[in-house]
Structure 1
Amino acid sequence: MNSDIGRFSTAPGDTETPIERPAEEQKPPDLVYGSTEEFLHEQLLPTYVRDVDGRAAKWCAEWYFHPEAVSRVEALWRAWEHLRLDGATGISVWWKDHADHHMSVLLDPRGPFYKCDIKTHRNPEHLEPKKAPEGWFPDVRTQGT
């Protein structure tokens, strides 16, 4: 005897449940962009348009020589790839929490490109901190073993 429940029906012997695959067998979603650079050129810069005049905003044509910039653009790419899958508010969250924040830092005239201009790269001065005295910052990976 069949019993109809909405548009689903059950018949004797239809007790098979969907097989759940172990996490290691689940394929992650395909990426839209294959690299940080592709994301920057194909998505980020074409949509995040600003007047980069050197006074209110700065950019370096050789942005990839700036470790902070590379890290921030990669963070933007990875967050975009993840949040694009949320069809409700994902892209809004990406703009608000990621793009606006990181791009404000990157484009800031006192940011990572402070010595550069749109056409000329100049190596940034890196902070050269002294090492703290021995024992001030113990390696937590080795504690308790």
Structure 2
Amino acid sequence: MPDPEFEVPVGVFQDIEDLKAQIAALNALVKALTEGANSELGEASADDEEDAGGEPEEGGDDQWQFPPFILLLDPPQYDDELRALIEWVEGVLVPGYLAEPSADARWCHLWFEHPVAIARLHALWLAWQELTDPATCGYTGPSVWHRDHLDPCIRELRASTGPFAGCTKGEHQIDHRMPGIVPSAWSRAED
């Protein structure tokens, strides 16, 4: 009796490759965590730092391991991160994803003067950096980024109650969104 013929659904091979990439990433994470458990707390091995693409640093306790949230940075790190964010927003996001602004879909050309917009767009950019790398998230990462990050972020930013609510094509306004008191978690105790 001959073997039955099976049709392989379109996309199965890509799904398998995605799963392989996710398994490889999980295996690397498990290896890093188990090796880290064998060393003292707070110490990273030289191999781990070299694998991460950086040189082992002396006294690296005050260094960020991952990109920090932009609103928690102080100058000049804040300025550098904002400059890189502006390049991404103006070079990728605006031309590729934002249509002409309207009353129902607002956008402010001075978005970088709106702290809420900076916070949301920075989070969106961090997710984009992670989810557009097939080595860490497989081939479905961009789809996840669109569904879980881009669409909700743009919906919130461009809503009639969003940070650009007071801005129109000819007028920019930020005072309407500025809080009178900075949340205590973001302020520093005076010495």
Same fold at TM > 0.5: yes
Amino acid in the other structure paired with 2:115: P
Identity of counterpart residues, as a percentage? 34
Q: What CA distance in whole angstroms lies between the structure 2 residues aligned with 1:23 and 1:81?
A: 21
Show the counterpart of 1:52.
Answer: 101
Correspondence 1:64-103 to 2 at 5 A: 64-86=112-134, 87-103=138-154
Q: What CA distance in whole angstroms lies between the structure 1 residues aligned with 2:111 and 2:98?
A: 16
Partner secondary structure for residue 139 of structure 2: coil
Amino acid in the other structure paired with 1:41: E
- 8 Å contact from structure 1 (residues 61, 120) kept in 2: no
- Identify which range, 43-52 or 60-69, moves more after superposition: 43-52
| Structure in which a larger fraction of residues adopt strand | 1
Show the counterpart of 2:164.
Answer: 113
TM-score normalised by L of structure 1: 0.64
TM-score normalised by L of structure 2: 0.50
Partner secondary structure for residue 142 of structure 2: helix
Output the aligned Cα RMSD: 2.5
Q: Please say which structure displays the higher CA radius of gyration.
A: 1
Q: 1:123 aligns with which of 157, 166, 174?
A: 174
Amino acid in the other structure paired with 2:93: L
* 2:125 pairs with 1:61: no
What do the CA deviations read for 1:6-37 (whole angstroms, capped 9, x no partner)? xxxxxxxxxxxxxxx72211217xxxxx7111
Q: What CA distance in whole angstroms lies between the structure 1 residues aligned with 2:146 and 2:170?
A: 27
Show the counterpart of 2:84.
Answer: 35
Q: CA deviation at 1:118?
A: 3.1
Q: CA deviation at 1:81?
A: 0.8
Q: CA deviation at 1:67?
A: 0.3
What do the CA deviations read for 1:47-80 (whole angstroms, capped 9, x no partner)? 2133311x21111111111001011111111111
Stretches of structure 1 lacking an aligned partner (at least 5 in a row): 1-20, 29-33, 132-145
How many residues in Structure 1 have an aligned counterpart in Structure 2? 106
Q: What CA distance in whole angstroms lies between the structure 2 residues aligned with 1:113 and 1:106?
A: 7
Stretches of structure 2 lacking an aligned partner (at least 5 in a row): 1-45, 55-82, 184-191
- 8 Å contact from structure 1 (residues 60, 119) kept in 2: no
Show the counterpart of 2:50.
Answer: 25
